[in-house]
């Protein structure tokens, strides 16, 4: 989804994702094209002709329909679809009974995420050579912002159990061509109800950058102007990754990049830190894969849940768990991590006390689920289709963290 603070890897195989991107962005503007390089032979988009028999431009709806049809045929997309409306304003109405209304976002009022190189505050495109990279597979650029908002009803009545976080992600390489996104996550601390909104990466109509620091500024459209709000924000749809692919353990991703932003005048993170018992479900995402691994007695789970898809993403981008976790004694839980990796690699049946669980939600306690779970997604398996194969045709398997001792 363009969506994410957060969401960077696909819930479909790497190979199919490449195909989807090629069709949608590189080849989708022309109806008559040949086979996509790197895709399965024989996959050719249907031709569309104008009234004069000439090649016709595809509409966005035609592109999406073709991609959905392809993914359904390949068993990589739930043909039932998801329970999200088509527009952001409709989704705002859908979540209002649970979370109130989305916040008004003024990026100038947000906290800029500080970046450091060898402990020194730094600016510009720092790539990955900094103390607190984003770990999302992109260059880390200064100027991104975070803001915490108290939940409110449409009438302005405070909702103390609801928190919203807005995130302005700056990905601009050329200041003359602003690139990034603005996202919102709403969360109810008692029920776990969660909503995800995200802009496209074309935010230049509303966002500008400070010249020297590239700090994001600007005011995003609000729900009182549905046309502009729908132009600015998108809702999840089945051709994009599930938000929970990255926001797996709970609604809010935290890492050294995100945690560098503090509420003004305090040492408290802008983004809330939740725990292993925090409720969590996504409004409209009832068919999303909400599973995480759990192992009884494993100390990795004493403070939080662990989303293995998120962990894998961080590790692939240079993060080393045993150098950071647990915070007060890094590396002291290497054995527990090794046990977790074995359960991830070989399945929970390979480790005593391990199981798939879905989080508590709306008063329901955490539940253990098995093979009968109906909402499985490929991102929750280390053995994705399309992984690189060795000479014997066997999957090379996932990239796993080095736990200090190679998992057996």
- Burial of 159-180, coded b for 16+ CB within 10 Å and e otherwise, reads beebbbbbbbbbbbeeeeebbb
Domain boundaries defined on the chain: 14-73, 88-259, 289-380
| Alpha-carbon gap, residue 45 to 63, rounded angstroms | 9
| Alpha-carbon gap, residue 317 to 254, rounded angstroms | 15
pLDDT of residue 80: 63
Average pLDDT of each block of 10 consecutive residues along the chain (408 residues)? 34 44 43 34 48 66 78 66 90 98 98 98 94 90 98 98 98 91 97 96 94 96 98 87 92 95 96 95 95 95 91 88 89 93 93 96 94 90 47 42 38
Q: How many residues does the chain have?
A: 408
pTM, two decimal places? 0.80
pLDDT of residue 385: 29
pLDDT of residue 30: 32
* CA distance readout (Å), 89 to 163, 232, 326: 19, 10, 41
pLDDT of residue 71: 74
């Amino acid at each position: 989804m363009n969506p994410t603070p957060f969401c960077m890897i696909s819930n479909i195989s790497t190979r199919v994702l490449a195909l989807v991107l090629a069709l949608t962005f590189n080849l989708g503007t022309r109806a008559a094209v040949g086979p996509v390089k790197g895709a399965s032979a024989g996959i050719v988009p249907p031709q569309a002709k104008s009234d004069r028999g000439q090649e016709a431009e595809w509409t966005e709806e035609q592109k999406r329909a073709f991609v959905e049809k392809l993914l359904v045929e390949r068993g990589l997309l739930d043909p039932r679809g998801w329970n999200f409306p088509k527009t952001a304003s409709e989704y705002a109405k859908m979540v209002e009974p649970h979370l109130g209304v989305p916040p008004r976002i003024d990026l100038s009022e947000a906290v800029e995420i500080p970046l450091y190189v060898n402990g020194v505050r730094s600016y510009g495109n720092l790539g990955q050579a900094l103390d607190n990279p984003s770990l999302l597979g992109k260059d880390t650029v200064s100027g991104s912002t975070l803001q915490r908002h108290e939940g409110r009803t449409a009438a302005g009545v405070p909702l103390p159990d609801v928190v919203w976080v807005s995130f302005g992600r700056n990905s601009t390489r050329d200041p003359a061509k602003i690139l990034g996104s603005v996202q919102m996550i709403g969360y109810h601390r008692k029920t776990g109800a969660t909503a995800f909104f995200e802009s496209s990466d074309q935010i230049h109509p509303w966002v500008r950058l400070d010249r020297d620091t590239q700090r994001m500024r600007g005011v995003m459209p609000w729900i009182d102007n549905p046309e502009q709000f729908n132009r600015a924000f998108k809702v999840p749809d089945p051709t994009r990754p599930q938000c929970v692919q990255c926001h797996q353990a709970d609604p809010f991703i935290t890492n050294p990049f995100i945690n560098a932003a503090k509420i003004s005048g305090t040492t408290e993170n802008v983004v809330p830190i939740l725990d292993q018992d925090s409720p969590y479900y996504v409004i409209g995402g009832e068919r999303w894969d909400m599973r995480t691994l759990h192992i009884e007695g494993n100390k990795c789970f004493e403070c939080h849940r662990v989303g293995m898809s998120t962990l894998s993403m961080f590790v692939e981008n240079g993060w080393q768990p045993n150098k950071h976790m647990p915070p007060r004694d890094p590396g002291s839980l290497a054995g527990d991590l090794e046990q977790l990796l074995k359960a991830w690699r070989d399945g929970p049946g390979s480790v005593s006390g391990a199981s798939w669980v879905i989080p508590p939600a709306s008063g329901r306690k955490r539940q253990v689920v098995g093979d009968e779970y109906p909402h499985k997604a490929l991102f929750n398996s280390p053995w994705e289709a399309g992984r690189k194969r060795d000479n014997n045709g066997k999957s090379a398997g996932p990239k796993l963290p080095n736990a200090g001792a190679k998992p057996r």
